[in-house]
Chain A
Amino acid sequence: MFEYLIFFTFAAIAVIFAAIVVIHRNPVVSALALVVSFFSLAVMYVLLDAPFMAALQVIVYAGAIMVLFLFVIMLLNLAHTEEPITRPIQQFLGITGAAGFAITIIYYLLKAAVLHTGGPVEFVSDARAIGVSMFEAYIFPFEAVSILLLAAIVGALILSQRTSAIPGAKENGSR
């Protein structure tokens, strides 16, 4: 009973703040609302017997990625950018498309799409089990992800510097 109370409270928080992310005009407010939404998703992970993933959600998403977003928003001073309503037909089509997508997917979820495996089974997902799985079965994807992150660092540096790092390339960042 208590579990259901927590679920509905934090599901409502997640959905409301996700709506604020999408609707609000100020990107700073959007980013902070997204942090709240991520925190309530971490609560969902705890309810799903995955406390390690909840910790990762808070540290990696709410801690690192959203700080990066906020940093860029404040660096570019985007808090006061106006976004006038244009293209009403595209706006209408977007809202209709998203609503139709939501209704369709929820209809089929309620109807048939969930696997019926005879109820949730015993499920150990502490840090030890995840570590054993990661460094035995998933060692190759783990190494691949480390290379991906290195490539992302290099790419971010090259893209965001003022002058081109390529020798002889046309200087284009100083305009």
Chain B
Amino acid sequence: MIPTTWFLILGAILFSLGVLGVLTRRNGITIFMSIELMVNAVNLTFIAYARELGSLHGLMWVFFIMAVAAAEAAVGLAIFIALYRHRETIDVDEANLMHW
């Protein structure tokens, strides 16, 4: 039986990589994929704790997180398509209409 801590550390590393992507990249789709990476790291943490505590509640949370991530991906990608139609780019630095 692999200790829960190792799964938590793996989740922490993946989450930090997602944070790195959101903070340093400017391609909107890549930022979005980094967010998905962070969501998955949190899912891993939920399932690790579900096994540690012997409870199904963590798995239920993962199920709902997956549904919300699907909705978020659909709406977010639609926003990027609309942005591309207006600006011909998805560089998030160019989407500065509400900047300052």
Scoring B residues 79 to 98 as 1 if CB is less than 8 Å from chain A, else 0, what string do you get?
Answer: 11110111001110100000
How far does the alpha carbon of A82 sit from the alpha carbon of B89 in the complex, in Å? 10
Question: Which residue from chain B places its CB closest to the CB of A52 in the assembled complex?
Answer: B59
- Say yes or no: A49 contacts B13, CB within 8 Å: no
- Say yes or no: A53 contacts B62, CB within 8 Å: yes
- Say yes or no: B29 contacts A156, CB within 8 Å: no
Name 16 A/B residue pairs within 8 A (Cβ), A-sorted.
A3-B2, A11-B10, A22-B20, A37-B14, A49-B51, A83-B25, A115-B53, A120-B52, A121-B53, A121-B54, A138-B60, A145-B64, A157-B78, A159-B81, A159-B82, A173-B85
* Residues of chain A having any CB pair with chain B under 8 Å: 3-4, 7, 11, 14-15, 18-19, 21-22, 27, 30-31, 34, 37-38, 41, 44-45, 47-50, 52-53, 56-57, 60-61, 64-65, 68-69, 72-73, 75-76, 78, 81, 83, 86, 90-91, 93-95, 97-99, 101-102, 105-106, 109-110, 113-115, 117, 119-123, 125, 129-130, 133-134, 137-138, 141, 145, 148-149, 151-153, 155-157, 159-160, 162, 172-173, 175
